[in-house]
Structure 1
């Protein structure tokens, strides 16, 4: 068994290992979706590692590299082990083998997310000195289960397409800090994949939605607190539904401390599917 980085692993071999490792996972991806996910999350093959048995990738951690909470960060884009190789501690060995290279590259912390019902993985991460930083909900429904609600904006408000560069000073609209995969940095890695809509009162941006049509992913949705309950969020979701190209609609990693987004999604037919922990280890 050899542990080394993934720089020489081609996209197909990486996807094959990923698909096999996550065969029983709740959310499955095809190869295009997998490559899109890696790009969005900042995948760096030179700083990602795997265990190889006779040249075959059997356990891996794909790391995204970027900034989180103003620190240079590695993010677990996907850790998996083929079923027949589980129980050997390979994931932990791959992770520990990666640490010197990450530290040498200037990485200050390691960030990951894990399903709350995956008690075995959580136990491993705690042994590896990870601590829970936040709890997330994730919502998934078939697109056909969601309906476009008849809703128009109040007088003086307008909806138009905008670009990422127009989203300045949005903190006052947001109830929580976006997770790694939903951050502006992640969106900026492939901005052409996203549709961004803004609602304006005169010339002032009062709400916006960021949506990835190919995956059905509601990436960000925010409205100024004083402008809520005016139908702005519904109009933004309606716009997303008209653009959707996927069988599902999903919203991944909404902070459980946010008490407004859950009931809003439920009112539109977007169901709570499960919960995750965000965990961080200082390097």
Structure 2
């Protein structure tokens, strides 16, 4: 039986979740989210069902190509094909359908990330016309020391956050993504008479730090260490993961090393003009 490639609208979240789980089986970082985790992930990244694609066999989703659209940009959240169907060009066909669809909608650019070492996926994205935009690093950290900062809402820091940053967060960690799941993140801030000194935002359930930044004049004073220690005390695991740190930020890399952060797998951010 061949697979039918169609839009994802009309399919249940559970059908899409199971298709994603099957599609990532056997990968270096398999993704098997619970229903709650899948809902959070799609909400955070902004999945649009009628811009997303699936390959179905009867009523069963065998491959997914899940897409978001925000402010004239498209983003591939996740793509994967069940093991028994890999090598048949299904992902390429979904990708081509998605590119044509986004271009018809007037979307200007298309973004995604690929794990370092996932050569098959990278080759597919190359064939689809994606090129490297940035490299990202991940770190694992068990914070120590005294915590700094008070717990606040994401809305309390978002207007001043960009002034503290040297680079834009990745799609999943963007201001819009954090606003979309604000009930599921923990934010701490430190202020002085000038305003926001520094802040950090963590996905509460996983202990993943989505954003951390310190105002330039307040750096190298232990602010980042204190903010991370505060989040570490609030993390359900006691440990933290720093996700999608821009790899060419030498200052961040040095600070992470000084804090005892351990580098883990990284990703390449990809971009395609439509």
Asked whether the two chains share a fold, i.e. TM above 0.5, the reply is: yes
d(CA) in 2 for partners of 1:248 and 1:114?
A: 25
Task: Say if 1:247 and 1:225 are closer, same or farther in 2 by CA, change over 3 A.
Answer: closer
Q: Tell me the equivalent position of 2:144.
A: 148
Confirm whether residue 18 of structure 1 aligns to residue 20 of structure 2.
yes
In structure 1, distance between residues paired with 2:53 and 2:119 = 23
Q: After TM superposition, give the deviation of residue 139 of structure 1 in Å.
A: 1.9
Structure 1 match to 2:38: 34
Cα deviation, residue 7, structure 1 = 1.1
| Alignment correspondent of 1:54 | 58
Contact 2:25/2:82, CA 8 A, preserved across alignment: no
Paired position in structure 1 for 2:172: 181
- Residue 95 (structure 2) aligns with: 95
Figure out how many residues of one structure are paired with residues of the other and give that number. 269
Q: Determine the C-alpha separation between the residues in 1 that align with 2:58 and 2:26.
A: 25
Give the drift of 1:150. Answer: 3.4
What is residue 207 of structure 1 aligned with on the other side?
A: 198
- Rounded to whole Å, the distance in 1 between the matches of 2:225 and 2:245 is 17
**8 Å CA contact 1:193, 1:213 repeated in 2:** yes
2:152 equivalent in structure 1:
162
Q: Deviations over 1:119-148 (max 9, x none)?
A: 22111111111111111111235xxxx143
1:230 is matched with 221
Once the two structures are TM-superposed, the CA of residue 102 in structure 1 deviates from its matched residue by 2.0
- TM-score (normalizing by structure 2): 0.91
* Structure 1 residue 248, shift from structure 2 partner: 5.4
Q: What secondary structure sits across from 1:170 in the alignment?
A: helix
With structure 1 as the length reference, what TM-score do the two structures score? 0.88
Change (3 A) 1:248 1:85: farther
Q: Is the 8 A contact 1:42 1:65 kept in 2?
A: yes
Gaps of 5+ in 1: 154-158
CA distance in 2, matches of 1:91, 1:29: 19
SS in 1 for 2:250: coil
5+ residue gaps, structure 2, are none
CA RMSD of aligned residues (A): 1.9
Please, which of 247, 259, 266 is the counterpart of residue 268 of structure 1?
259
